[in-house]
Amino acid sequence: MSIIDEDLNKFSLKLDFYSLIVSPQKKETFITMSLNTAHFHTNAFPRTYSILEKTIPGIFRSKCFNDEDLPFSQEVLNTEIGHLFEHIILEYLCQIKLQKGAKKALYKGFTNWNWKKDKKGTFHIILYMNQAEQEIFAEALDKSIKVLDYILRFGDKISSDKLN
């Protein structure tokens, strides 16, 4: 008899601006993001759009389901950092899957938060993907962290562009 712990692959990451608890399950991966920044929305990081344009322009073609039905290119100007992070990961998942030879790539995600219940700046992100795709996910997560770190570090500074 063997007992399989579904949370066996659960791990946490502590970064400069936020921490992540990642819990890969069979059909979806759960991420809890806890920001320790002073701001939780992209409007405090006005360079978000241009940084994304330089790093992952494909993100602007992603579909976004938001209350006001705005295209992601508009929504991104003032959205929750957790929601932005979800879109960045989804875009990288698609890119990496295609790079690995897939003909099509489609990933869905969802971000919610309840700051009455959780500490302000906490987000719950669900990514719908199979556990078998953990390798793609690990790569996507790594790249996504780099982009988000750059946004949180330099996205509020209007002048000087250090991004290559």
Can you give the binding site for Zn ion, defined by CB under 5 A? Answer: 64
Q: Which two tokens stand for residue 110?
A: 């969802």
Return the number of the residue (114 or 160) whose C-beta is nearest Zn ion: 114
Name residues whose C-beta falls within 8 Å of residue 47's C-beta, 6 or more positions apart in sequence: 151, 154, 155, 156, 157, 158
Return the number of the residue (72 or 150) whose C-beta is nearest Zn ion: 72
Kindly state the smallest distance separating residue 117's Cβ from Zn ion, in Å. Answer: 22
Return the number of the residue (64 or 127) whose C-beta is nearest Zn ion: 64
State how far the Cα of 115 lies from the Cα of 100, in Å rounded to an integer. 39
Return the number of the residue (79 or 95) whose C-beta is nearest Zn ion: 79
Q: Long-range pairs for 52-55 at CB < 8 Å and ≥24 separation?
A: 52/76, 52/88, 52/147, 52/151, 54/163, 55/147, 55/150, 55/163
Kindly state the smallest distance separating residue 144's Cβ from Zn ion, in Å. Answer: 14
Measured at CB, which residue is nearest to Zn ion? 64
Mind giving me the DSSP string for 60-75?
GGS----TT---HHHH
Name residues whose C-beta falls within 8 Å of residue 50's C-beta, 6 or more positions apart in sequence: none
Name residues whose C-beta falls within 8 Å of residue 66's C-beta, 6 or more positions apart in sequence: 75, 79
Return the number of the residue (92 or 163) whose C-beta is nearest Zn ion: 92
Kindly state the smallest distance separating residue 59's Cβ from Zn ion, in Å. Answer: 10
Kindly state the smallest distance separating residue 157's Cβ from Zn ion, in Å. Answer: 25
Kindly state the smallest distance separating residue 101's Cβ from Zn ion, in Å. Answer: 27
